[in-house]
A = this chain, B = another copy of it.
Amino acid sequence: METIPVPVLFFALGFAAALARSDLAVPDALSKGLSLYLMLAIGVKGGVALAAPGGAAGMLPALAAGLLLSFLLPIPAYAGLKAFTRLDRPTAAAVAGHYGSVSVVTFAAGLAAVQAAGLRAEPFLPAVLAAMETPAILTALLLARRGGAARRPKDRAKLLREVLLNGSVVLLLGSFLIGWLGGARAAAALSPFVEGLFQGALCLFLLDMGLLAARQLRAAPQALEARLIAFGLLMPLFGAACGLAAGLAAGLSPGGVALMAVLAGSASYIAVPAAMRLALPEADPGVYVTLSLAVTFPFNVVLGIPLHLALAQRLAGG
Protein backbone atom coordinates (compact mmCIF):
# COMPACT_ATOMS: atom_id res chain seq x y z
CA MET A 1 0.00 0.00 0.00
CA GLU A 2 2.79 2.31 1.09
CA THR A 3 4.28 2.17 -2.39
CA ILE A 4 1.25 2.59 -4.63
CA PRO A 5 1.51 6.08 -6.17
CA VAL A 6 -1.22 8.51 -5.14
CA PRO A 7 -2.59 9.03 -8.67
CA VAL A 8 -3.08 5.26 -9.00
CA LEU A 9 -5.08 5.29 -5.79
CA PHE A 10 -7.39 7.85 -7.37
CA PHE A 11 -7.78 5.60 -10.39
CA ALA A 12 -8.76 2.78 -8.06
CA LEU A 13 -11.22 5.05 -6.27
CA GLY A 14 -12.96 5.95 -9.52
CA PHE A 15 -12.98 2.34 -10.68
CA ALA A 16 -14.46 1.11 -7.42
CA ALA A 17 -17.04 3.91 -7.31
CA ALA A 18 -18.31 3.12 -10.80
CA LEU A 19 -18.36 -0.63 -10.19
CA ALA A 20 -20.48 0.02 -7.11
CA ARG A 21 -22.73 2.22 -9.32
CA SER A 22 -22.07 5.42 -7.43
CA ASP A 23 -23.31 8.51 -9.27
CA LEU A 24 -19.91 10.19 -8.91
CA ALA A 25 -19.11 11.84 -12.25
CA VAL A 26 -16.61 14.30 -13.69
CA PRO A 27 -18.17 16.76 -16.18
CA ASP A 28 -17.09 16.16 -19.79
CA ALA A 29 -15.70 19.66 -20.15
CA LEU A 30 -13.51 19.13 -17.10
CA SER A 31 -12.11 15.81 -18.40
CA LYS A 32 -11.31 17.44 -21.70
CA GLY A 33 -9.80 20.44 -19.96
CA LEU A 34 -7.63 18.22 -17.78
CA SER A 35 -6.45 16.26 -20.79
CA LEU A 36 -5.52 19.52 -22.58
CA TYR A 37 -3.69 20.64 -19.45
CA LEU A 38 -1.71 17.41 -19.15
CA MET A 39 -0.60 17.58 -22.79
CA LEU A 40 0.37 21.24 -22.47
CA ALA A 41 2.28 20.63 -19.26
CA ILE A 42 4.08 17.53 -20.53
CA GLY A 43 5.01 19.35 -23.72
CA VAL A 44 6.23 22.54 -22.07
CA LYS A 45 8.26 20.74 -19.42
CA GLY A 46 9.91 18.57 -22.04
CA GLY A 47 10.67 21.50 -24.31
CA VAL A 48 12.14 23.58 -21.51
CA ALA A 49 14.40 20.71 -20.49
CA LEU A 50 15.41 20.14 -24.09
CA ALA A 51 16.59 23.74 -24.28
CA ALA A 52 19.02 23.15 -21.42
CA PRO A 53 22.61 22.36 -22.47
CA GLY A 54 22.90 18.76 -23.66
CA GLY A 55 19.13 18.25 -23.59
CA ALA A 56 18.89 17.01 -27.15
CA ALA A 57 21.64 14.42 -26.95
CA GLY A 58 20.28 11.12 -28.22
CA MET A 59 16.98 12.48 -29.47
CA LEU A 60 17.13 11.25 -33.03
CA PRO A 61 17.61 7.54 -32.30
CA ALA A 62 14.81 7.67 -29.75
CA LEU A 63 12.47 9.38 -32.20
CA ALA A 64 13.31 6.84 -34.86
CA ALA A 65 12.72 3.99 -32.42
CA GLY A 66 9.35 5.45 -31.43
CA LEU A 67 8.21 5.90 -35.03
CA LEU A 68 9.23 2.39 -35.88
CA LEU A 69 7.48 0.88 -32.89
CA SER A 70 4.27 2.72 -33.70
CA PHE A 71 4.39 1.64 -37.34
CA LEU A 72 5.24 -1.97 -36.62
CA LEU A 73 3.54 -3.00 -33.37
CA PRO A 74 0.08 -3.21 -34.98
CA ILE A 75 1.30 -6.05 -37.18
CA PRO A 76 1.94 -8.64 -34.44
CA ALA A 77 -1.14 -7.33 -32.64
CA TYR A 78 -3.27 -7.98 -35.72
CA ALA A 79 -1.72 -11.37 -36.30
CA GLY A 80 -2.36 -12.36 -32.71
CA LEU A 81 -5.97 -11.23 -32.82
CA LYS A 82 -6.68 -13.07 -36.08
CA ALA A 83 -5.00 -16.22 -34.77
CA PHE A 84 -6.53 -16.42 -31.34
CA THR A 85 -9.84 -14.50 -31.39
CA ARG A 86 -12.87 -14.39 -33.65
CA LEU A 87 -12.76 -10.66 -34.36
CA ASP A 88 -13.65 -9.68 -37.91
CA ARG A 89 -10.92 -8.07 -39.98
CA PRO A 90 -11.85 -4.38 -39.53
CA THR A 91 -12.28 -4.71 -35.78
CA ALA A 92 -9.02 -6.62 -35.44
CA ALA A 93 -7.21 -3.98 -37.48
CA ALA A 94 -8.74 -1.18 -35.44
CA VAL A 95 -7.76 -2.83 -32.16
CA ALA A 96 -4.23 -3.38 -33.48
CA GLY A 97 -3.93 0.35 -34.27
CA HIS A 98 -4.68 1.25 -30.67
CA TYR A 99 -1.77 -0.83 -29.42
CA GLY A 100 0.77 0.67 -31.79
CA SER A 101 -0.25 4.14 -30.66
CA VAL A 102 0.15 5.53 -27.15
CA SER A 103 -1.73 6.89 -24.13
CA VAL A 104 -0.79 10.34 -22.84
CA VAL A 105 -2.03 9.65 -19.33
CA THR A 106 -0.19 6.35 -19.05
CA PHE A 107 2.93 8.30 -20.00
CA ALA A 108 2.11 10.95 -17.39
CA ALA A 109 1.68 8.29 -14.73
CA GLY A 110 4.95 6.69 -15.87
CA LEU A 111 6.74 10.03 -15.65
CA ALA A 112 5.47 10.53 -12.12
CA ALA A 113 6.63 7.04 -11.18
CA VAL A 114 10.07 7.60 -12.72
CA GLN A 115 10.48 10.81 -10.77
CA ALA A 116 9.21 9.25 -7.57
CA ALA A 117 11.90 6.58 -7.99
CA GLY A 118 14.50 9.34 -8.04
CA LEU A 119 15.34 8.84 -11.71
CA ARG A 120 15.52 11.39 -14.48
CA ALA A 121 14.20 10.88 -17.98
CA GLU A 122 15.36 12.33 -21.25
CA PRO A 123 13.55 15.64 -21.83
CA PHE A 124 12.67 14.81 -25.44
CA LEU A 125 10.40 11.90 -24.56
CA PRO A 126 7.25 14.03 -24.97
CA ALA A 127 8.29 14.46 -28.60
CA VAL A 128 8.62 10.68 -28.90
CA LEU A 129 5.17 10.40 -27.34
CA ALA A 130 3.74 12.75 -29.97
CA ALA A 131 5.58 10.95 -32.76
CA MET A 132 4.11 7.60 -31.72
CA GLU A 133 0.48 8.73 -31.75
CA THR A 134 -0.33 8.45 -35.43
CA PRO A 135 1.85 6.04 -37.45
CA ALA A 136 -0.07 3.10 -36.00
CA ILE A 137 -3.27 4.48 -37.49
CA LEU A 138 -1.84 4.23 -40.98
CA THR A 139 -0.71 0.65 -40.39
CA ALA A 140 -4.14 -0.26 -39.05
CA LEU A 141 -5.78 1.14 -42.19
CA LEU A 142 -3.45 -0.81 -44.40
CA LEU A 143 -4.20 -3.98 -42.46
CA ALA A 144 -7.94 -3.39 -42.77
CA ARG A 145 -7.88 -2.37 -46.42
CA ARG A 146 -5.87 -5.21 -47.93
CA GLY A 147 -8.23 -6.11 -50.77
CA GLY A 148 -10.87 -3.76 -49.32
CA ALA A 149 -12.85 -1.06 -51.11
CA ALA A 150 -11.26 2.29 -51.98
CA ARG A 151 -12.42 5.35 -50.05
CA ARG A 152 -13.98 8.48 -51.52
CA PRO A 153 -11.25 11.11 -52.00
CA LYS A 154 -13.02 13.66 -49.78
CA ASP A 155 -13.20 11.23 -46.89
CA ARG A 156 -9.58 10.35 -47.40
CA ALA A 157 -8.50 13.99 -47.17
CA LYS A 158 -10.52 14.43 -44.01
CA LEU A 159 -9.06 11.29 -42.53
CA LEU A 160 -5.50 12.29 -43.30
CA ARG A 161 -6.12 15.63 -41.60
CA GLU A 162 -7.63 13.88 -38.62
CA VAL A 163 -4.63 11.59 -38.40
CA LEU A 164 -1.84 14.07 -38.97
CA LEU A 165 -3.33 17.08 -37.23
CA ASN A 166 -5.27 15.50 -34.44
CA GLY A 167 -5.56 17.79 -31.46
CA SER A 168 -3.36 15.91 -29.05
CA VAL A 169 -0.41 15.67 -31.43
CA VAL A 170 -0.68 19.37 -32.29
CA LEU A 171 -0.92 20.47 -28.66
CA LEU A 172 1.85 18.17 -27.45
CA LEU A 173 4.29 19.10 -30.21
CA GLY A 174 3.30 22.77 -30.11
CA SER A 175 3.80 23.03 -26.37
CA PHE A 176 7.07 21.17 -26.67
CA LEU A 177 8.25 23.64 -29.30
CA ILE A 178 7.10 26.59 -27.21
CA GLY A 179 8.87 25.25 -24.14
CA TRP A 180 12.00 24.84 -26.21
CA LEU A 181 11.76 28.32 -27.73
CA GLY A 182 10.85 29.90 -24.41
CA GLY A 183 13.51 28.06 -22.41
CA ALA A 184 14.24 29.48 -18.98
CA ARG A 185 11.78 32.32 -19.60
CA ALA A 186 8.93 29.87 -20.16
CA ALA A 187 10.02 27.81 -17.18
CA ALA A 188 9.93 30.79 -14.85
CA ALA A 189 6.55 32.04 -16.06
CA LEU A 190 4.79 28.70 -16.23
CA SER A 191 6.38 26.65 -13.47
CA PRO A 192 3.58 26.99 -10.87
CA PHE A 193 1.13 26.00 -13.58
CA VAL A 194 2.91 23.10 -15.28
CA GLU A 195 4.81 21.80 -12.24
CA GLY A 196 2.74 22.73 -9.20
CA LEU A 197 -0.58 21.49 -10.48
CA PHE A 198 0.61 18.46 -12.37
CA GLN A 199 0.14 15.82 -9.70
CA GLY A 200 -3.24 17.16 -8.63
CA ALA A 201 -4.56 17.35 -12.18
CA LEU A 202 -3.28 13.85 -12.84
CA CYS A 203 -5.15 12.57 -9.76
CA LEU A 204 -8.41 14.16 -10.84
CA PHE A 205 -8.00 12.87 -14.37
CA LEU A 206 -7.19 9.35 -13.20
CA LEU A 207 -10.25 9.43 -10.96
CA ASP A 208 -12.27 10.12 -14.10
CA MET A 209 -10.44 7.42 -16.07
CA GLY A 210 -11.32 4.95 -13.32
CA LEU A 211 -14.99 5.91 -13.57
CA LEU A 212 -14.95 5.69 -17.38
CA ALA A 213 -13.09 2.37 -17.42
CA ALA A 214 -15.46 0.64 -15.03
CA ARG A 215 -18.53 2.06 -16.77
CA GLN A 216 -17.19 0.90 -20.12
CA LEU A 217 -16.69 -2.59 -18.73
CA ARG A 218 -20.33 -2.71 -17.77
CA ALA A 219 -21.58 -1.15 -21.01
CA ALA A 220 -19.79 -3.46 -23.43
CA PRO A 221 -19.66 -6.97 -22.04
CA GLN A 222 -18.96 -8.34 -25.54
CA ALA A 223 -15.36 -7.22 -25.12
CA LEU A 224 -15.03 -9.35 -22.05
CA GLU A 225 -14.59 -12.64 -23.87
CA ALA A 226 -11.64 -14.40 -22.20
CA ARG A 227 -9.36 -14.39 -25.24
CA LEU A 228 -9.83 -10.67 -25.78
CA ILE A 229 -9.02 -9.94 -22.16
CA ALA A 230 -5.92 -12.10 -22.48
CA PHE A 231 -4.91 -10.05 -25.52
CA GLY A 232 -5.49 -6.84 -23.56
CA LEU A 233 -3.10 -8.06 -20.87
CA LEU A 234 -0.44 -9.78 -22.98
CA MET A 235 -0.14 -7.31 -25.83
CA PRO A 236 1.01 -4.47 -23.52
CA LEU A 237 3.67 -6.79 -22.12
CA PHE A 238 4.86 -7.67 -25.61
CA GLY A 239 4.83 -3.98 -26.63
CA ALA A 240 6.68 -3.00 -23.48
CA ALA A 241 9.33 -5.62 -24.11
CA CYS A 242 9.89 -4.17 -27.59
CA GLY A 243 9.96 -0.67 -26.07
CA LEU A 244 12.52 -1.79 -23.50
CA ALA A 245 14.73 -3.22 -26.21
CA ALA A 246 14.33 -0.12 -28.36
CA GLY A 247 15.15 2.15 -25.43
CA LEU A 248 18.28 0.21 -24.63
CA ALA A 249 19.30 0.20 -28.29
CA ALA A 250 18.76 3.96 -28.45
CA GLY A 251 21.09 4.36 -25.47
CA LEU A 252 18.58 5.94 -23.11
CA SER A 253 18.99 6.31 -19.35
CA PRO A 254 17.13 3.86 -17.05
CA GLY A 255 14.25 6.34 -16.67
CA GLY A 256 14.12 6.80 -20.42
CA VAL A 257 14.17 3.06 -21.07
CA ALA A 258 11.30 2.60 -18.61
CA LEU A 259 9.29 5.29 -20.36
CA MET A 260 9.92 3.80 -23.80
CA ALA A 261 8.51 0.56 -22.42
CA VAL A 262 5.55 2.43 -20.95
CA LEU A 263 4.89 4.12 -24.30
CA ALA A 264 5.17 1.00 -26.40
CA GLY A 265 3.05 -0.95 -23.93
CA SER A 266 0.29 1.66 -23.74
CA ALA A 267 -2.80 1.84 -25.94
CA SER A 268 -4.55 4.96 -27.23
CA TYR A 269 -8.04 5.81 -25.98
CA ILE A 270 -8.59 9.26 -27.52
CA ALA A 271 -6.91 9.86 -30.87
CA VAL A 272 -7.11 6.35 -32.32
CA PRO A 273 -10.73 5.53 -31.42
CA ALA A 274 -11.87 8.79 -33.03
CA ALA A 275 -9.86 8.11 -36.18
CA MET A 276 -11.03 4.49 -36.39
CA ARG A 277 -14.67 5.43 -36.02
CA LEU A 278 -14.33 7.61 -39.10
CA ALA A 279 -12.03 5.41 -41.12
CA LEU A 280 -13.34 1.95 -40.26
CA PRO A 281 -17.04 2.34 -39.49
CA GLU A 282 -17.49 -1.42 -39.75
CA ALA A 283 -15.20 -2.00 -36.78
CA ASP A 284 -16.93 -2.34 -33.41
CA PRO A 285 -16.03 0.55 -31.07
CA GLY A 286 -17.39 -1.42 -28.12
CA VAL A 287 -14.45 -3.78 -28.53
CA TYR A 288 -11.60 -1.38 -29.06
CA VAL A 289 -12.63 1.26 -26.54
CA THR A 290 -13.28 -1.35 -23.87
CA LEU A 291 -10.02 -3.21 -24.41
CA SER A 292 -7.91 -0.09 -24.46
CA LEU A 293 -9.64 1.88 -21.72
CA ALA A 294 -10.95 -0.78 -19.39
CA VAL A 295 -8.44 -3.61 -19.65
CA THR A 296 -5.05 -2.37 -20.83
CA PHE A 297 -5.08 1.08 -19.25
CA PRO A 298 -5.75 -0.17 -15.69
CA PHE A 299 -3.27 -3.01 -16.17
CA ASN A 300 -0.55 -0.60 -17.24
CA VAL A 301 -1.21 1.95 -14.55
CA VAL A 302 -1.42 -0.54 -11.73
CA LEU A 303 1.02 -3.30 -12.71
CA GLY A 304 2.76 -2.41 -15.95
CA ILE A 305 4.53 0.78 -14.92
CA PRO A 306 6.19 -0.58 -11.76
CA LEU A 307 7.20 -3.71 -13.67
CA HIS A 308 8.75 -1.80 -16.58
CA LEU A 309 10.50 0.52 -14.16
CA ALA A 310 12.03 -2.36 -12.24
CA LEU A 311 13.15 -4.09 -15.44
CA ALA A 312 14.61 -0.89 -16.85
CA GLN A 313 16.57 -0.30 -13.68
CA ARG A 314 17.91 -3.83 -13.87
CA LEU A 315 18.81 -3.77 -17.52
CA ALA A 316 20.04 -0.22 -17.92
CA GLY A 317 21.66 0.08 -14.52
CA GLY A 318 20.50 2.88 -12.24
Contacts and interface: CB of A to CB of B under 8 A. Distances in A.
Nearest to A196: B192
A2 B2 CA distance: 45
Interface stretch (A26-34, A69-77, A230-238, A300-308): A26-34
Nearest to A8: B178
Interface stretch (A15-23, A58-66, A84-92): A15-23
A174 interface: yes
B6 A182 contact: yes
Q: Which of A20, A40, A170, A201 has the most CB of B within 10 A?
A: A170
A171 B29 contact: no
A231 to B, nearest CB: 29
A45 B151 CA distance: 55
A13 interface: yes
Interface stretch (A127-135, A160-168, A213-221, A241-249): A160-168
A80 interface: no
A299 interface: no
A188 to B, nearest CB: 9
Contacts of A316: none
Contact of A165 (B4, B23, B26, B112): B23
A299 to B, nearest CB: 21
Contact of A181 (B1, B178, B196): B1
9 contacts: A6-B185, A9-B182, A17-B167, A20-B161, A23-B167, A171-B207, A192-B192, A192-B196, A193-B203
Q: Top 7 nearest A-B pairs by Cβ distance?
A: A193-B200, A192-B196, A24-B167, A29-B29, A22-B165, A27-B29, A13-B174
Interface of A: 1-2, 4, 6, 9-10, 13, 16-17, 20-30, 32-33, 36-37, 40, 112, 161-162, 165-167, 170-171, 174-175, 177-178, 181-182, 185-186, 189-190, 192-197, 199-201, 203-204, 207
